[in-house]
């Protein structure tokens, strides 16, 4: 099992529509997280797991994955939220379909 931790400083003060993590490598592929602090439409935090650069992958490439994301509350651990997903991503996937998790 692989793990990546993205610590966001001053999370409550974020004003950007979206922010991206640094690129990280897990299981031979480069990934990024995209965070929408106020969500896409519903006003809830949304996180997307993205392949960092689809243009470097061969046509027809796909990968089945199982992943989980956690929004950690450092003040009250009982308020930490975890979500898990299974998903197949291929080179024809649209960015808005990439592994999306909404935190309510």
Domains for the chain: give ranges and CATH numbers: 16-103 (2.60.210.10)
pLDDT tens-digit map of 53-102? 777 778 778 888 888 888 888 889 999 988 888 877 776 655 544 544 55
| Per-residue DSSP letter, 13 | G
Mean pLDDT taken over the chain:
80
**Is the pLDDT score of 50 beyond 50?**
yes
pLDDT of residue 20: 93
**Is the pLDDT score of 23 beyond 90?**
yes
pTM for this prediction: 0.77
pLDDT of residue 102: 52
Q: Phi and psi of 84, rounded to 5°?
A: -130, 150
């Amino acid at each position: 099992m692989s793990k990546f931790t993205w610590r966001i400083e001053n999370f409550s003060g974020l004003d950007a529509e979206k922010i991206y993590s640094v690129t990280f490598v897990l299981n031979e592929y480069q990934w990024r997280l995209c965070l929408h602090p106020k969500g896409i439409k519903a006003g809830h935090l949304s996180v997307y797991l993205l392949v960092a650069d689809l243009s470097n992958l061969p046509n027809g490439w796909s990968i089945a994955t199982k992943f989980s994301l956690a929004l950690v509350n450092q003040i009250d651990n009982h308020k930490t939220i975890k979500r898990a997903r299974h998903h197949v991503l291929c080179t024809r996937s649209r960015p808005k379909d990439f592994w999306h998790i909404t935190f309510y």
